[in-house]
Structure 1
Amino acid sequence: MIKVLDVNLYDTGLENAVAETIRDCHTGLPRQNHCVSATGAHGLVTAVKEPNFKTVLDSFHWNLPDGMPGVWIGRWKGARQMTRCYGPDFFKLVMSQSAQQPIRHFFCGGQPGVAEELKASVGAKFGNYQVAGTFCPPFREMSDDEFRDLAQTINNAGVNIVWIGLSTPKQERFARRLAQWVNVHFIVTVGAAFDFHTDRVVQAPSWMQRLSLEWFFRLMVEPKRLYKRYLEVVPLFIYLNLKEVFSPVKQSTQV
């Protein structure tokens, strides 16, 4: 792991993350409800602004570097094997590589009907028919009893991986609460992956993703929803990392 804005990011690459996830679903070890977040600049900046959200990310098994800015900072700090672990790509690779294996999935999130559409989509696109169920959370905050009922549904279906497709920081907080009652291997938050893989939202071209311009593409596609976020997040991410680099090292003093 490597720290970027004081949050530990996974630093050994997308392929390793996929392989470890699939492998751990087959081991005889107890299911540990490992929470995994695909964390980009938005999540990292939010963690600086909201200490309670940083506590959530600190409790996670992995925070995958969802965007290239986090990867660039991580590599600069010495994580040479670090690659982008883009949430939609991580989802796609796990779903395709586990398609013929006894690994059961559950989709939680999105607008009404999106999770069901995704269930059909992963069968058509990736040949994966191991989706045990779906759930669309209400817009309001769920009660503990509702989380217990959802967890019971998931547990009864023998699910290995719960995929959550909401938005940051809502999805990470949702995952942490669900982990109190569920009995699975992984709970993974993947943001817009649900919309991308149901073709509700167009993804940025690969060249724009490599150049870390996906935020600009998404801003052009969904300006009303995203302009406030990106006008704040991009400058803040740059500023906070520069501040970290150029801040003098604090010297400890004895009283």
Structure 2
Amino acid sequence: MTRYDEAVATVLAAARSSRPFAVTALAVHGVMTGVLDREHGARLNSFDLVTPDGQPVRWALNLLHDTALTDPVCGPTLTLHVLRAAADEGLPVYLYGSTGQTLDCLMLNLQNTLPALKIAGHEASKFRAAGPGEDAEIAARITGSGARIVLVGLGCPRQEAFVHAMRPLLQMPLLAVGAAFDFHAGNLRRPPLWMRKHGLEWLWRLGLEPRRLWRRYLLLNPHYLLLLAAQWAKLRPATPPPPAMDRPAAFPV
């Protein structure tokens, strides 16, 4: 529950002081993943900052908690704000996730738009679970690169599981940024502003990737609205999942 300037300020403060800080931006899919998987919900509740990625989540926060948020804080836009601030302050960043081709396009675009940005390192996803001791190896590579901020683009919920697992090992903020790598690499187009303002970004994404996303939107969105209505009518208590577990033995890399 924050604004872009507040979110960037907290991330930069953690980067300056070399302090672990876990951030994610959750749209309906991310929220529902935490609702349906209580273990994952516990991970999400342990994050230092969770922002509303999209109008439906912002509307729900305003309806249920009177937060008076005027705008969502979306992952791709937050990513750009953080990168600009990091470039201004000379804070190196590390890019983790997606594919090698996407990372190459992303870094080229960032070099063109933010020439002062220092990219300390990058690492594509291996699309598998981490092996024994691999968490320490990844942490050593990131720390050794001199990075002060880590951006993680593994997709929901893999990226949140990665951030939760790596936070105890890294003295810097980690941001789960969703599809931001694909957007800023030029692989995906964001919808027109009017669609974003009216909470229709999901429809745009469904039109671009119907075979991959139809279950996410056509099944989860009605479920989300049903749970929201039940909570608003006080028919369903907002009971949080149990406290987050320790770092799991296996997590996605």
Task: Write the distance in 2 (CA, Å) between the matches of 1:192 and 1:249.
Answer: 32
Q: CA 1:238 to 1:217, structure 2 compared with 1: closer, same or farther past 3 Å? A: same
Contact 2:24/2:50 (CA < 8 Å) preserved in 1? Answer: yes
Query: Could you give the per-residue CA deviations for residues 189-242 of structure 1, whole angstroms, max 9, x where no partner exists?
Result: 011000000101111111111111000001001111111111112101101101
1:101 aligned to 2:89?
yes
Query: Which residue number corresponds to residue 157 of structure 2?
Result: 169
Alignment of 1:70-81 (within 5 A): 70-76=57-63, 77-81=65-69
TM-score, normalised to structure 2, is: 0.88
Query: Which residue number corresponds to residue 58 of structure 1?
Result: 45
Q: Where does the alignment leave 5 or more consecutive residues of structure 2 unmatched? A: 238-253
In structure 2, give the amino acid aligned to 1:100. D
Query: Which residue number corresponds to residue 159 of structure 1?
Result: 147
Contact 2:125/2:154 (CA < 8 Å) preserved in 1? Answer: no
Alignment of 1:82-93 (within 5 A): 83-93=71-81
Task: Write the distance in 1 (CA, Å) between the matches of 2:225 and 2:167.
Answer: 33
Q: Which runs of 4+ in 1 moved over 6 A?
A: none
- Deviation of 1:183 after TM superposition, in Å, equals 2.5
TM-score, normalised to structure 1, is: 0.87
Q: Where does the alignment leave 5 or more consecutive residues of structure 1 unmatched? A: 1-10, 251-255
166, 170, 173: which is aligned to 1:182? 170
- Aligned to 1:204, the other structure's residue is in SS state coil
Alignment of 1:1-255 (within 5 A): 11-26=1-16, 29=17, 31-76=18-63, 77-81=65-69, 83-184=71-172, 186-248=173-235
- Deviation of 1:167 after TM superposition, in Å, equals 1.1
Contact 1:37/1:189 (CA < 8 Å) preserved in 2? Answer: yes
- Relative to its length, the structure with more helix (as a share) is 2
- Aligned to 1:106, the other structure's residue is in SS state strand
For these two proteins, the number of residue pairs brought into alignment is: 236
In structure 2, give the amino acid aligned to 1:223. P
Contact 2:52/2:72 (CA < 8 Å) preserved in 1? Answer: yes
Higher relative contact order (CA 8 A, sep 6+): 2
Task: Write the distance in 2 (CA, Å) between the matches of 1:189 and 1:130.
Answer: 19
Contact 2:230/2:236 (CA < 8 Å) preserved in 1? Answer: no
RMSD of equivalent CA atoms: 1.6
Contact 2:28/2:57 (CA < 8 Å) preserved in 1? Answer: yes
Q: CA 1:33 to 1:227, structure 2 compared with 1: closer, same or farther past 3 Å? A: same
Contact 1:99/1:130 (CA < 8 Å) preserved in 2? Answer: yes
How many percent identity over aligned positions?
28
Q: CA 1:24 to 1:32, structure 2 compared with 1: closer, same or farther past 3 Å? A: closer
